[in-house]
Amino acid sequence: MRECVFIDGVRTPNGRAHREKGWFRHLRPDELLTPVYNALFERNNKVAPDMVDAVFVGCANPSGMQNDIGRLAWLASGLPESVPTNTLTNQCPSGMSATMHAARAIMTGEADIIIAAGVEDMEKVPMGANMDFPPRLLKYYNGADLLMGATAEKVAEQWKISREDMENMAVWSNKKAWEATVSGKFKKEIVPIKGLDDNGNEFLVDRDQWVREKVDEDKMKTMMSPFKPNGVVTAATSSPLTQGACALLLMSREKADKLGLPYRYKYSYGVLAGCDPTIMGIGPIPAIKKLIARTGLNLDEVGAIELNEAFASQSLACIRELKLDNENAPFKRVNVWGGAIALGHPLGESGARIIITLLNILSTEFPDAKYGLASLCGAFGNAGALLVEKVQ
């Protein structure tokens, strides 16, 4: 098998998916992908667009404006027709699956250069839009139990995660995300793009919209669960509705050497796992266990871990069961620049975004670590885990 190295990764800032308040409310999801493609080619000018063997784009809801977004966004960006594209979905792990497919094609020798991307605009194509559930599914599940918020409440109950611990984690996630934002840690990965403020005035957005300088902890304590009467999961302990896109440039090590492109990390291993869709948030547990069983990985050799925060309840359940870090925030190696509760979670984008952030965290905060791990859950019980390794 050949080695597949990570050359670069960029993303748009995450915008709030809101018709009046969203900074990117004037943009379509394909218009979010264009600046990340452009940035990849500008930053890596030894790679011309027609040298790319394929583009894989993860999207959780490829319908409406996101229908075959992989192909249509590429062509709408004025990029070469000769480059094939593949839009793929398995809900939130879509961007991670795109990266796994890209790496494997490179490792087997079927391709030299692939772009793995992710995109979701939860305002233009809302969660569940155009969904037509197979009625036979209801033989096995109660439809209401499959809704994301309901699964987060069920995980909180079954794993005995208190509201206090979830709020503590959400405050920490915001704090770390704010610190990382103001100290410029996301500068390497964020491509600034034009946005609109509340009054419709244009400005250059270079940071994620949802990140709060200060979390109103008193307000947080009084917020009600939108998901269940007397529930414990609130908007403050959930990932918010978000718009965003990102892309990674992957290459065979030989090709990168030939082009003289630097790299520090390579794709090591990736797995998908399935779990009960009514507790979909615990997906990283079987995914990471499977990855460990297949690779013999010792978690002590892992520096940073990026665990997508769909909800604080599921993140804490995964962290505790797998003993990834402390039982409660603050954490030493999980989401040290904040997570999706603060940064936002554009569904099909996040699986690739956490790999980009992981690579940047590893190279700056954990330069001696051999491995970095990214994992996330997804609607209906799909999950992914992906290991990156420092190149020798």
Ligand X SMILES: CC(C)(COP(=O)(O)OP(=O)(O)OC[C@H]1O[C@@H](n2cnc3c(N)ncnc32)[C@H](O)[C@@H]1OP(=O)(O)O)[C@@H](O)C(=O)NCCC(=O)NCCS
Would you say 379 or 385 has its CB closer to ligand X? Answer: 379
Q: Is 101 a catalytic residue?
A: no
Would you say 136 or 219 has its CB closer to ligand X? Answer: 219
Which of these is catalytic: 4, 59, 92, 318?
Answer: 92
CB count within 10 Å of CB 131 equals: 9
Q: Minimum distance from CB of 127 to ligand X (Å)? A: 6
User: Of 296, 294, 292, whose CA–CA distance to 305 is shortest?
Assistant: 292
Which of these is catalytic: 59, 246, 275, 377?
Answer: 377
274 within 8 A of 381, measured Cβ to Cβ:
yes
Would you say 45 or 230 has its CB closer to ligand X? Answer: 230
Start-to-end CA span in the chain (Å): 16
Q: Minimum distance from CB of 217 to ligand X (Å)? A: 8
DSSP 202: E
Q: Minimum distance from CB of 348 to ligand X (Å)? A: 11
DSSP 192: -
Which residues of the chain form contacts with ligand X (CB under 6 A)?
Answer: 92, 148-149, 170, 215-216, 219-220, 226, 235-236, 238-241, 310, 345, 347, 379
Would you say 228 or 390 has its CB closer to ligand X? Answer: 228
Q: Minimum distance from CB of 226 to ligand X (Å)? A: 4
Q: Is 345 a catalytic residue?
A: yes
CB count within 10 Å of CB 145 equals: 14
Would you say 53 or 309 has its CB closer to ligand X? Answer: 309
CA dist 234 → 132, 143, 151, 302 (Å): 27, 21, 13, 32
CA distance 14 to 24: 9
CA dist 292 → 178, 301, 361, 378 (Å): 32, 12, 22, 20
Q: Minimum distance from CB of 283 to ligand X (Å)? A: 9
219 within 8 A of 171, measured Cβ to Cβ:
no
Which of these is catalytic: 4, 59, 275, 345?
Answer: 345
- Known catalytic residues are 92, 345, 377
